[in-house]
Amino acid sequence: MHAPAPSLAARRAMYNNNKIQIGLFGANCSSGRAVTLVRERWSGTWADNKRLAQLADEIGIDFMLPIGRWKGYGGDTDYQGETLETITWATALLALTKRITVFGTVHAPIFNPIVAAKQMVTADHVGEGRFGLNIVVGWNEGEFDMFGVAQREHDARYDYAQEWIDVIKMI
């Protein structure tokens, strides 16, 4: 006989009585959020992300939110020069944790909404309801150029994002 599964509410850290949610931002990128050359700067490696997520899950951190980055800034630090793609990163971390919510960050103008919808549903199944979505419309011209995508005017970006979300919901 199997033990009863914990409730959905018990598995989802973001749905608790805390007035403020505490999370970790940018662990999927080398250097994290610190532009520095110090030897002990954040590596952003899979091994370190796995350890961090499991520790955060154990001590009660509510969520992890990745940066949607496609290339680093170069220079001496190559700030965020190595990154883990956010939906696969989230899916893997969700498989290794029990209660923390893990977000994927999606650039709506770059991600095909049909493919993204399937990726996100898969992540949510793996995490048993703990996947979160951070939708962005972009600002980094160099990254958009990598994909041959023209950056829309400011207001048009958000109109497009709404349409993208509508398609995701319909799917």
Task: Quote the pLDDT of residue 144.
Answer: 82
Mean pLDDT of 34-41: 87
> Each residue of 60-118: pLDDT tens digit?
999 999 999 888 888 888 888 789 999 999 999 999 999 999 999 999 999 999 999 99
Q: Which of 20-29, 37-46, 59-68, 70-79 is predicted least confidently?
A: 70-79
> What's the average model confidence in pLDDT over 40-65?
96
Average pLDDT, integer, range 142-158: 89
Query: Over the stretch 3-12, which tens digit does the pLDDT of each residue have?
Result: 455 566 655 6
What is the average pLDDT score of the chain? 89
Q: Given this model, what pLDDT does residue 2 score?
A: 54
Contacts for 65 with CB less than 8 Å, ≥ 6 apart: 23, 24, 25, 26, 103, 105, 132, 134
Q: In CATH, what number does 8-170 get?
A: 3.20.20.30
pLDDT at 165 over 70: yes
Compute the distance between CA of residue 77 and CA of residue 37 in angstroms, rounded to an integer. 6
For the chain, percent helix, then strand, then coil, each to nearest 5? 40, 10, 50
The reported pTM is 0.87
CB 165 within 8 A of CB 134: no
